Amino acid sequence: MDRSQAHITAALGAERSEVRLRAALEAGTYPIPDLLDVVIDRCRVEPDFYVRDMLTWAITRYPAARTVPAVIAQLASATPQARSQALHTLSKIGDDSAWPAISRALLTDVDDETARSAWRAAVVLVPDDERAPLAAILATQFGRGSGDLHRSLSRALVELGDAAEEAVAMARQSPDPVVRGHAAATERLAADPESAFVFDVER
C-alpha cells in the first residue's frame, strides 16, 4: 500500500466528518485502483450524508467495468445502508448493465431507504421494454410509508411516463382509500410534473 493510499484509507475512518469528506474528495480526484474497495466498503458504515455523497462521486470516477460488479455485490448485504447506498451509486454510474440486479426484492425492500433508492435506480436503468412491468411492481408500493416516501414513489412512476399509466389507473380502483389517494396524487403529478406533490393520508 503506497503512502497516499494509506493516508486516504486512514482519513476515511477519521472521527471528524470534514476529514472524511476531504479524503473522499481526494479518492475521487486521484483515483487509486487499489482504493476502490476501501471506498465502497466505507459507504456501508459512513454516517454523514455529505460524505456518503462524496464517496459515491468518487466511485463514479473509476472505470464502470470495475465499479459496477463491485457495487452490485453490495446489494446482497444484510446492512440496509450498504444496499441503499449501492443502489444510489448505480443510479449515478448509469450503466444499464446493472439493470438485472435491480430485483423485485429490492424494489419492495422492508427498509424504506433501500426501497426508495431502488425506485430511483430502476427508473434510470430500466430498458424500454421493461418500463411497464417495473411500473406494475412500483404500484404495489402505493400507500407505503409517509410524506417523503409517497413523493419519491410518485416521482419514480412519473419518470416512467406512459408506461405507468395502466398500473396507476388500476391502483385508483383499489379498495384501500390510501392506495387510491396516492394513485390519484400520482396522476395529478404526471399531468403537471412541475406542480407540488399533494397527498394527505388523513383526507
Q: What is the mean pLDDT of residues 112-140?
A: 97
Torsion of CA 45, 51, 54, 55, to 10 degrees: -20
Question: pLDDT tens-digit profile of 85-122?
Answer: 999 999 999 999 999 999 999 999 999 999 999 999 99
Say what the pTM is: 0.91
CB atoms within 10 A of CB 160: 21
* Contact predicate 117/152, CB 8 Å: no
Q: String of b and e for 49-83 (b: at least 16 CB within 10 Å)?
A: eebbbbbbbbbeebeeeebbebbbebbeeeebbbb
4: pLDDT confidence band, cut at 50, 70 and 90?
A: confident
Q: What is the mean pLDDT of residues 148-162?
A: 94
pLDDT of residue 66: 95
197: pLDDT confidence band, cut at 50, 70 and 90?
A: low
Residue written as cell 479524503? 23
CB atoms within 10 A of CB 194: 5
To the nearest whole number, what is the mean pLDDT of the chain? 93
Of residues 74 and 190, the one with the higher pLDDT is 74
Domain residue ranges of the chain, discontinuous segments joined by +: 126-203
Closest listed residue to residue 47, CA positions, set 71, 93, 16, 5: 16
